[in-house]
Amino acid sequence: MSDKARIGWIGTGVMGSAMAGHLLAAGYPLTIYSRTKSKCQSLLENGASWAACPAEVGEASDIVFSIVGYPKDVEEVTIGGRGCLAGLKEGGIICDMTTSSPALARRIAEEAAKQGHFALDAPVTGGDVGAREARLSIFVGGERAAYEKALPCLEAMGKKILHCGDAGAGQYAKLANQVAIAGVMFSVCESLLFAQEAGIDVAKWRDLVGSGAAGSAAMNTLGVRLLGQDYEPGFFVDHFIKDLGLCLEECRRMGLVLPGVELAEELYRSVQARGEGRKGTQILVKVLAELSGKTWNSHP
Amino acid sequence: MSDKARIGWIGTGVMGSAMAGHLLAAGYPLTIYSRTKSKCQSLLENGASWAACPAEVGEASDIVFSIVGYPKDVEEVTIGGRGCLAGLKEGGIICDMTTSSPALARRIAEEAAKQGHFALDAPVTGGDVGAREARLSIFVGGERAAYEKALPCLEAMGKKILHCGDAGAGQYAKLANQVAIAGVMFSVCESLLFAQEAGIDVAKWRDLVGSGAAGSAAMNTLGVRLLGQDYEPGFFVDHFIKDLGLCLEECRRMGLVLPGVELAEELYRSVQARGEGRKGTQILVKVLAELSGKTWNSHP
C-alpha cells in the first residue's frame, strides 16, 4: 500500500491524459473515468484503475482532479447526481482544472463544504506542450488548507503554481489571462496583415519587432506559424470562444465593459461561423484579411 | 579636416538630442538646427555648429538627419522653401527619422531624386532610453546605395537596423509596429483591470502571466508601472494618437479594415479629450475603468 494520497482523475483529453500520466509516474495510485474509455488505454496499461462513473472515482479517492470541456460538463462530473462529490469520503478534495465559470466554482465549493469536503478551482495555461512537459502554470482558488494538500500533485504537473484566493479566484485569474490573450491576438494578426499589405518583408519585420517594445510571446510563436500559413491549433478557436464568453459573462456580472474583449469575441465568433472553430486562434488573420477582400499569403 | 561625412541634424527633442550626440561622439562634423535653439546648447558646447535654417544645414552637410514632430514639420524642414533639400549639393542624402507618413516619405524621395539627391525614411523604436543608450531599432526605406552610405551613422544610434524596401517602407514598418502596440495595450490594460475587479492579487498575477503565453514586453514594463499607478510617459498618448492616425490613413489608402486599431484610436482620442495626452499610453487603463464607473487603484 502506498502512503500517498489516492488520486482520482476525470477527463482524459490531450491535456488530461498527459497531466494524469505525471501523477501516475510520480507513484500516486490513480483511478480514472472518461466519457471515452479508449482515450484511457495508455493510463490503464500503466497501472491506473477504471471507474464506471465520476461517483465511483470519488469513492476510490482522497483527491479528485477533473479537466473536461464546458462548465456543464464540470457541473455534471462534480456536483451532478453521479458526480464525484457523491462518492467522496468526509474531508475529500475536488480540484477542477477545466477553464470554467468562477460562479460555478463557488457553487461547487459551497456544495462540497455542505458535505464536509473541499473544492479547488485550478485552471492551467501552457497548452498541450506544457501539459506534456509538466511545465504548466496553474491558477488556484479555494481554501488554503486544501490547496496545500493538493500542492504536491499540482507540482507534478506544473512549474508555476499561484494560490489566487478563495473559490473562483483561480478561474478569475485564468480568465484574466485570456483577456490578455485577446489583445495580443489583435496585436499579432493586425500588424502582420498591415505589414503584408504595405509590401514589406514580413518575416524580417516580425523577427525584429518580436524582440522589441511591440513584442509578445504570441508574436514569437503564432506569428512565426502565420508566416508559413500554419493554422494548426496550439489553442482551438472553439475553446477560446468558450473562454471569451466566460470573460464577458463575468464582465456583465461585475459591471465592467472591456471593448477589446467584446470585439475579439465578435470576430472569433465570425471565425467559428465560417467553419474554422477547430483551427488555431492565429487563423484570425485570415478572417481579418477577408474582411477587406484581401488574402493572407505571406511566406517565410 | 575630417574625412568623415559632414552630418546635418534637424530637431533636438529628447530623442534627437541623444541621437545627434552619438554622431558627435563618433567624430562626425555636425551642423544643427532646431526650432528652439536653447535645446541645442549641450550639442553646441560639444562642438556642433549652428545653422539658421534647415537650408543652411543642407549647405553644410553630405547627409542630413531630421527627427521632428508631425508630418507637416517633416515637410517643412525637408522639401519646404527653406528646407534642407534647397541647400544640399548634388548627391546629398536626406534621412528623416520622424515617425511620419509613408506617402510623404515617397514624395520627399521623388523631390530629392529630381534634384539629384537621395532620401531615406528611417523611423525608430526604443524610446528615450533606446536613444540615450544607442540601442534603437531603425526601420529604413529608400534606395540601397543611399542606405549603405548612411549605415555607419545609423549604427552609431541603433542596435538593429532593417532595410525594409523602397521609399516609404521604413514608415510602413514603423506603423506596423504601432499596430502591434495597439493590441498589446488592450492586452495589458484590460487584463489588469479584469484581474483587479475580480479581486485577485494583481501584482502576483502579473508576475506569473508576464512570462507565459499571454505575456508581452508591455506587460513587463507598462504593466509594472500600472501597479504603482505610474502614468509618466514612456510614450506620450498624443504621439501614439498621431501614429494610429497615420496607420488608419494608410489602411484607408490600402483598402484595409483593422477593427482593433480603429477601436484603439477611438479610445486613445477619448484619453486625449480628457486632457491626458501628455501622459504615457498605459493611462488607457484609467479611462477603461472610468468607462464602467470603476477606479484603477491596484497597488504593488
pLDDT tens digits for range A249-268? 999 999 999 999 999 999 99
- The predicted structure's pLDDT at residue B20: 98
Residue A97 has pLDDT above 80, yes or no: yes
β-partners of residue A160 are: A137
- The predicted structure's pLDDT at residue A2: 53
Q: Which three cell numbers stand for residue B153?
A: 551613422
Q: How many CB atoms lie within 10 A of CB A164?
A: 28
Identify the band that residue A299 occupies on the pLDDT scale cut at 50, 70 and 90. Answer: low
- C-alpha span between B64 and B183 (Å, rounded): 34
Chain A CB contacts of B178 below 8 Å: 214
- C-alpha span between B158 and B127 (Å, rounded): 11
Q: Respond yes or no on whether ipTM tops 0.90.
A: yes
Say yes or no for a CB contact (<8 Å) between A254 and B164: no
Say yes or no for a CB contact (<8 Å) between B188 and A208: no
- Catalytic entry in A149, A174, A279, A286: A174
The per-residue pLDDT of chain A, averaged, comes to 96
User: CA of A203: which chain B residue's CA is closest?
Assistant: B164
- The predicted structure's pLDDT at residue A1: 44
Give the mutation candidate from A128, A201, A256 for the B interface (greatest B CB count, under 10 A): A256
Q: How many CB atoms lie within 10 A of CB B107?
A: 17
Q: Which residues contact A182 (CB under 8 A, 6 or more apart)?
A: A244, A247, A260, A261, A264, A265, B186, B187, B190
Residue A111 has pLDDT above 70, yes or no: yes
Q: Which three cell numbers stand for residue A201?
A: 518583408
Q: Which of B169, B194, B260 sits opposite A186 (nearest CB)?
A: B260
pLDDT tens string for chain B (300 positions)?
457 899 999 999 989 999 999 999 999 999 999 999 999 999 999 999 999 999 999 999 999 999 999 999 999 999 999 999 999 999 999 999 999 999 999 999 999 999 999 999 999 999 889 999 999 999 999 999 999 999 999 999 999 999 999 999 999 999 999 999 999 999 999 999 999 999 999 999 999 999 999 999 999 999 999 999 999 998 999 999 999 999 999 999 999 999 999 999 999 999 999 999 999 999 999 999 999 999 999 754
Say yes or no for a CB contact (<8 Å) between A127 and B160: no
Q: Which residues contact B221 (CB under 8 A, 6 or more apart)?
A: A213, B234
Residue A131 has pLDDT above 80, yes or no: yes
The answer to whether A37 is a known catalytic residue is no
pTM for the predicted model, two decimal places: 0.95
Q: Which of A172, A193, A288 sits opposite B200 (nearest CB)?
A: A172
- C-alpha span between A184 and B235 (Å, rounded): 19
Catalytic residues of B, which ones? 174
Identify the band that residue A44 occupies on the pLDDT scale cut at 50, 70 and 90. Answer: very high
User: CA of A126: which chain B residue's CA is closest?
Assistant: B213
Chain A CB contacts of B144 below 8 Å: none
Chain A closest-CA separation from residue B149 CA (Å): 21
Nearest C-alpha neighbor of B71 from the set B276, B245, B254: B245
Residue A293's alpha-carbon distances to A289, B37, B253, in angstroms, are 6, 50, 14
